[in-house]
Chain A
Amino acid sequence: MLAGYSTVSSKAKIKGLEKIDRLFNTYANSSLGMIDPEGIEALCSDLGVDYTDVRILMLAWKLKAEKQGYFTQDEWQTGLKALGVDSLSKLKKALSDLEKEVEKPSNYEDFYTYAFRYCLTEEKQKSVDIESICELLNLVLGVQFRPQIDSLIEYLKVQNDYKVINSDQWINFLRFCKEISFPDLENYDATQAWPLILDNYVEWMREKHS
């Protein structure tokens, strides 16, 4: 009896995996053996989301995708299994659930950090250029912290002390949004361990408003 049961489940498993693989092959670049940017674009259009939509980034996070613009078969399999989907329609539905999952406090910081890492396309790259950072901030934090992000992006574009942003500065942007009252910035203390770029931003803000 047990054997029969497991046979059924493993059959189901194999069947599920088959579907996942089939879905994979729909978008994968056969010579590379993985889904490339073109494939992702196609996937996006089939899912009905924009290529630049933050939900794709969330998907990448869920898949724990290593390289920006590519999904390997392993990543695809693990990720879709974790989502519990094996078809396009199920994936579409899962995307909105994914948003809620990311917003959970326990996941949010992880996702946020992942977003930065995802931009490190070159080997040994440690920082990301300002332009890309502005876009990423907008994408990742724009909805939840609209006024802060708009203001911060404006500053990042006009200042010229920093041409790139490193991971330490990146993680502190999130903390800044979460902890500092806006727009008065009253509880910001420059003598504390905030990165210098934020000290400069606050000074710029205060001058603007005086």
Chain B
Amino acid sequence: MSNQKKKIFQIEAFKNRVVVDPKYAEKTWKILEHAIHEIYNHNASGLSFEELYRNAYNMVLHKFGEKLYSGLVTTMTAHLKEISKSIEAAQGDLFLEELNRKWNDHNKALQMIRDILMYMDRTYIPNTHKTPVHELGLSLWRDNIIHSGKIQSRLLSTLLELVHRERTGEVIDRGLMRNIVKMLMDLGSSVYQEDFEKPFLEVSAEFYRRESQKFIECYDCGDYLKKAEIRLNEEIERVTHYLDAKSEGKITHVVEKEMIANHMMRLVHMENSGLVNMLLNDKHGDLGRMYNLFRRVPNGLAMIRDVMTSHLRETGKQLVTDAERLKDPVEYVQRLLDEKEKYDGIISLAFSNDKTFQNALNSSFEYFINLNSRSPEFISLFVDDKLRKGLKGVSEEDVEIILDKVMMIFCYLQEKDVFEKYYKQHLAKRLLSGKTVSDDAERSLIVKLKTACGYQYTSKLEGMFTDMKTSQDTMQGFCSSHPELTDGPTLVVQVLTTGSWPTQPSITCHLPFEMSALCEKFRSYYLGIHTGRRLSWQTNMGTADIKAIFGKGQKHELNVSTYQMCILMLFNNADRLSYKEIEQVTAIPASDLKRCLQSMACVKGKNVLRKEPMSKDIGEDDSFFVNEKFASKFYKVKVGTVVAQKESEPEKQETRQRVEEDRKPQIEAAVVRIMKSRKVLDHNNIIAEVTKQLQSRFLANPTEIKKRIESLIEREFLERDNSDRKMYRYLA
């Protein structure tokens, strides 16, 4: 080689088209087809990934993607048809196993095929908008296997059969179930729903419908609910183990509807085991279960609440109108407290402190407590009993607990002003007789009343306490300034501020000389310190301790009322006294006099006097003597009665009348207050505003309010508007 030309490399495009061997595509495809066969026949190990990938790559590159893709479809379909036959051939229980196995195989194969055909997946397929390989594999599986005529229905019925078996107590292969179900989910949510979930829900509904019908006939309410709860939990567990999580809400809805919603009414009202029975017997477990199950269905809780409310109202109504119960006010209130405690317990333990139930409880109590117009009086008597003896020896914390409970009942009262009247009377008696168990307990209750009703409600009550304290100081001052009085009768004076105390003005009776002299001394002492004040002796309210010696030398100390003391002292100067004589000398009012004489002459164990004739009642012509034969095993004998008692009919009427009278100025004051600030207001609004303002004391009657408004119009505080008759106008 002598001539060596320097060659410059030039890269030029092919001048000639490369003609690919037309048989090249077919040949390449055959290689790949063969590979797919091998893969499906579990012979993949002998294949070269690299070679296959390259072949597939070249086919696509040389514009034979179409051939490759359609070939894939055909080949895969053919294989799947084979697989389908083998699955169909499986017997009985092996059906699912075979399906599962073949599915796993298919997935593995699909994976490998996808890897080999990845270039096509990434270029040809997106460009032609064809289904990607993996997805294609799933759709082909779905169409050729799952939706094949022979397999589709068999698959569904097998799955449902297994679920049914499990529901009847058999153990099934949950792992297998999970895999099959997952397969359906992988094939697409519509496959899962159409081929399994929908029929599953229908069949389950039918199952539970039948089961609940059977149960409701043979189980009582409590047991039925237990069964329902078990079934519900089972279904939830089933979903966790082998179903799509989204099915949980749907299947629980089915159970709730079939087992609970459809039988709600019957369960609640079941005789001897329904809601009312559970309430009566404090069956907290059953009630809690009912609450938890019913809250899952529409109107479930509303139904429980309504039945509870009407039962409670009925029970309460019977309680407050039961004639037997009404004889003992303390018992009456105790029953109310017990009932409240019972339901508080139920609501907190079984109904998880549900506020709507709390409200139902409150409105029911408010309803029936106010059905009996004596409730305010009885509650005051209950408190009186507790403060006089019931709370003796009880710890401070327990006292608070009891008083708080009573306050809760108090808050239900609509006529709080009636309560105030009675409370004042009873408190006065307690204070004046010195019969209160604990000063702290008394004051604690006043504070609670103040919190509930405002300062004005309790200001007079507090005044009563102050008077007691002040009287003590006054007595000390009196005694120290009159040392000569240590011999002779002892005087203890309580000075009460008129207006704070519920005293009725009374005519002072004639006191025995020893007492009247003493009283005068006190009066001058007191008025010396407090000039400008007026004192009047309330002889209808005092007590006295007298030492007496009877016919055979029996010595006793008698605790009597002031009136009784006046009567007895007369017998120091006379052996025999007629009724008229006693009346004249003592000037005690007739009805009181009769009562005093009766308690001293006609009551066994207290008959310090003897009466002729020995009739039960006091007659105006009776004569009285000291009962020389009086005997009592006690040295100290209590004759007077200043204890708070349930009012008699006429007393009750009187109190009610006084309450009504007191309400009139309160209504007027409210009307004036409102009109003063609003200047002009229409009728309905005035009624509403006045009612609202007075709510904490009593429930104002619209007719009464109207009466007061008319009275105010007459007295020219208000006038009607000339043009609009519904409006009222404030006149300054």
Pick the contact of A193: B703, B707, B714, B726 (CB < 8 A). Answer: B726
Residue contact A168 to B710, C-beta cutoff 8 Å: yes
A166 part of interface (Cβ distance < 8 Å): yes
Judge whether B706 is part of the interface by a CB distance below 8 angstroms.
yes
The one of A127, A166, A168, A191 in contact with B702, judged by C-beta atoms closer than 8 angstroms, is: A191
User: Using Cβ atoms and an 8 Å threshold, which residues of chain B touch A168?
Assistant: 710, 713-714, 720
Contact of B714 among A166, A175, A191 (CB under 8 A): A166
Q: How far is the CA of A171 from the CA of B194 in the complex (A)?
A: 81
Set of chain A residues within 8 Å of B435, measured between Cβ atoms: none
Give A122 to B702 CA distance when docked, in angstroms.
34
Flag if B725 contacts A195 (CB, 8 Å).
no
Q: Judge whether B710 and A196 touch: CB under 8 Å.
A: yes
Given known contacts A168-B720, A192-B683, A192-B726, A126 and B714 CB-to-CB distance under 8 angstroms = yes
Distance of A127 Cα from B727 Cα, bound (Å): 23
Asked if A193 and B725 sit within 8 Å, CB to CB, the answer is yes
Say yes or no for A199: interface residue by CB 8 A criterion: yes
**Minimal beta-carbon separation of B362 from chain A (angstroms):** 28
A108 to nearest B CB, angstroms? 15
Task: Flag A182-210 by CB within 8 Å of B: 1 or 0 each.
Answer: 00000000011101100100000000000
Which residues from B are CB-within-8-Å of A127?
A: 714
Residues in A with CB closer than 8 Å to B684 are 191-192
How far is B687's CA from A175's CA once the two chains are assembled, in angstroms?
22
Residues on B with C-beta less than 8 A from A191 are 683-684, 687, 702
B728 within 8 A of A: yes
- Nearest Cβ on chain A to B711's Cβ, whole angstroms: 10
Chain B, 660-688, contact with A by CB distance < 8 Å: what is the 0/1 string?
A: 00000000000000000000001110010
How close is A88's CB to chain B, nearest CB, in angstroms?
Answer: 39
- The answer for the CA separation of A175 and B702 in the assembled complex, in Å, is 22
Which residue of A is nearest B714, CB measured?
A166
CB-nearest residue of chain B to A166: B714
**Nearest opposing residue in chain B for A161, CB measure:** B707
Q: Give every chain A residue within 8 A of B720 (Cβ-Cβ).
A: 168, 193
Q: Mark A130-173, 1 if CB is under 8 A from B, else 0.
A: 00000000000000000000000000000000000010110000
Residues of A within 8 A of B703 (CB): 196, 199
Q: Is the interface of A mostly helix, strand, loop or mixed?
A: mixed
Contact B706 A199 (CB under 8 A): yes
A193 touches B713 (CB 8 A): no
User: Nearest-CB distance from B441 to chain A (Å)?
Assistant: 46
Which residues in A have their C-beta under 8 angstroms from that of B728?
193
Given A168-B720, A175-B725: A195 and B710 interface contact (C-beta under 8 Å): yes
Question: Which A residues touch B725, using CB under 8 A?
Answer: 175, 192-193
Range, interface on chain B: 10 to 19
B-side contacts of A126, CB under 8 Å? 714
Contacting A at CB under 8 A, from B685-732, are 687, 702-703, 706-707, 710, 713-714, 720, 725-728
A175 CA to B710 CA, complexed, in Å: 17
Please report whether the interface of chain B is mostly helix, strand, loop or mixed according to DSSP: helix
- With both beta carbons as reference points, the residue of chain A lying nearest to B686 in the complex is identified as A193
Q: A210 to chain B: closest CB distance in Å?
A: 20
The residue in chain A whose Cβ has the minimal distance to the Cβ of B727 is A193
Identify the closest chain A residue to B724 (Cβ): A193
Chain A residue at minimal CB-CB distance from B725: A193
Give the distance in Å from the alpha carbon of A195 to the alpha carbon of B709 in the complex.
Answer: 9
Tell me the residues in window 293-351 of chain B with beta carbons closer than 8 Å to chain A beta carbons. none
Point out the residues of chain A lying under 8 angstroms from B706, CB to CB.
195-196, 199
CA of A189 to CA of B546, assembled, Å: 67
Interface size class on chain A is 10 to 19
* Cα(A68)–Cα(B707), bound, Å: 31
| Residue from B702, B706, B728 with most neighbouring chain A CB atoms (10 Å) | B706
List residues of chain B with CB within 8 A of the CB of A199. 703, 706
Closest to B728 in A: A193
Which residue from chain A places its CB closest to the CB of B684 in the assembled complex? Answer: A191
| Chain B proximity of A133: nearest CB distance (Å) | 15
In whole angstroms, what is the CA distance A92 to B331 when docked?
Answer: 83
Residues of B within 8 A of A192 (CB): 683-684, 725-726
Please state if B713 and A196 are interface contacts (CB–CB under 8 Å).
no
CA distance A126 to B715 in the complex (A): 10
Distance of A199 Cα from B707 Cα, bound (Å): 11
Residues from chain B with a CB closer than 8 A to the CB of A196 are 703, 706-707, 710
Query: What's the nearest-Cβ distance from chain A to residue B691, in Å?
Result: 13
Task: Give bound CA distance, A192 to B687, whole Å.
Answer: 10
B713 contacts across to A, CB distance below 8 A? 168
Residue of A nearest to B715 (CB): A126
Residues of A within 8 A of B682 (CB): 193
Q: How many angstroms from the CA of A199 to the CA of B713 in the assembled complex?
A: 17
Give the docked Cα–Cα distance between A195 and B728 (Å). 12
Task: A81 to B687: give the CA distance in the assembly, Å.
Answer: 50
From 225 to 264 in chain B, residues with beta carbon under 8 angstroms from any chain A beta carbon are: none
| Complex-state Cα separation, A192 to B720, whole angstroms | 12
Complex alpha-carbon distance, A9 and B730, angstroms = 51
Q: Which of A127, A168, A193, A196 has most B Cβ within 10 Å?
A: A193
Q: Chain A: which residue is nearest B682 at the CB level? A: A193
Distance A160 CA – B556 CA, assembled complex (angstroms): 59
Least distance between B714 CB and chain A CB atoms (Å): 5
Interface residue ranges of B142-186 to A (CB < 8 Å) = none
A191 to B720, CA, bound (A): 16
Residue of B nearest to A167 (CB): B714
Inter-chain CA distance A63–B523, complex, in Å, is 69
CB distance from A178 to the nearest CB of B (A): 11
Q: A202 to chain B: closest CB distance in Å?
A: 13
Q: How far is the CB of B683 from chain A (nearest CB, A)?
A: 4
Task: Give bound CA distance, A193 to B720, whole Å.
Answer: 9
From residue B723, how far is it (CB to closest CB) to chain A in Å?
12
- CB A166 to nearest CB in B, in angstroms, measures 5
Complex contacts, B726 vs chain A, CB 8 Å: 192-193
Interchain CA distance A193-B706 in the complex, whole Å: 8
Cα–Cα distance between A175 and B724 once the two chains are bound (Å): 12
Which residues from B are CB-within-8-Å of A175? 725
In the bound assembly, the distance between CA atoms of A193 and B707 in angstroms comes to: 11
Q: A110: shortest Cβ distance to chain B, in Å? A: 13
Would you give the shortest CB distance from A151 to chain B, in whole angstroms? 22
Distance in Å: Cβ of A196 to nearest Cβ of chain B: 5
- B710 surroundings in chain A (CB, below 8 A): 168-169, 195-196
When chains A and B are docked, how far (Å) is the Cα of A196 from the Cα of B714? 13
Q: Which residues of A contact B683 (CB under 8 A)?
A: 191-193
A residues near B714, Cβ cutoff 8 Å: 126-127, 166, 168
Q: Distance (Å) between the CB of B344 and the closest chain A CB?
A: 38
The minimal Cβ–Cβ distance linking B724 to chain A, given in whole angstroms, is 9
* Alpha-carbon separation in the docked complex, A191 to B728 (Å): 14
Closest to A171 in B: B720
A169 to B707, CA, bound (A): 12
CB distance from A181 to the nearest CB of B (A): 17
Chain B residue with Cβ nearest A195: B710
Q: How far is the CB of A73 from chain B (nearest CB, A)?
A: 33
How many Å from the CB of B712 to the closest CB on chain A? 10
How far does the Cβ of A15 sit from chain B's closest Cβ, in whole Å?
Answer: 43
Cβ of A162 to closest chain B Cβ, rounded Å: 10
How near does chain B come to A206, taking the closest CB pair, in angstroms? 16
Residue of B nearest to A175 (CB): B725
Q: Give every chain B residue within 8 A of A166 (Cβ-Cβ).
A: 714
Minimal Cβ-Cβ distance residue in B for A197 = B710
Complex: A191 Cα to B682 Cα, angstroms? 11
CB distance from A90 to the nearest CB of B (A): 36
Question: Could you list 9 examples of A-B contacts with CB < 8 Å?
Answer: A127-B714, A168-B714, A169-B710, A175-B725, A191-B702, A193-B682, A193-B720, A193-B727, A199-B703
Q: 8 tightest A-B contacts by CB?
A: A193-B683, A193-B726, A168-B713, A196-B706, A166-B714, A196-B707, A192-B683, A195-B710
Query: Chain B: residues with CB nearer than 8 A to chain A?
Result: 682-684, 687, 702-703, 706-707, 710, 713-714, 720, 725-728
- Report which A residues bind B (CB closer than 8 A): 126-127, 166, 168-169, 175, 191-193, 195-196, 199
- Assuming A193-B720, A196-B703, A196-B706, what are 9 further A-B pairs, CB within 8 angstroms? A169-B710, A175-B725, A191-B683, A192-B725, A193-B682, A193-B726, A196-B707, A196-B710, A199-B703
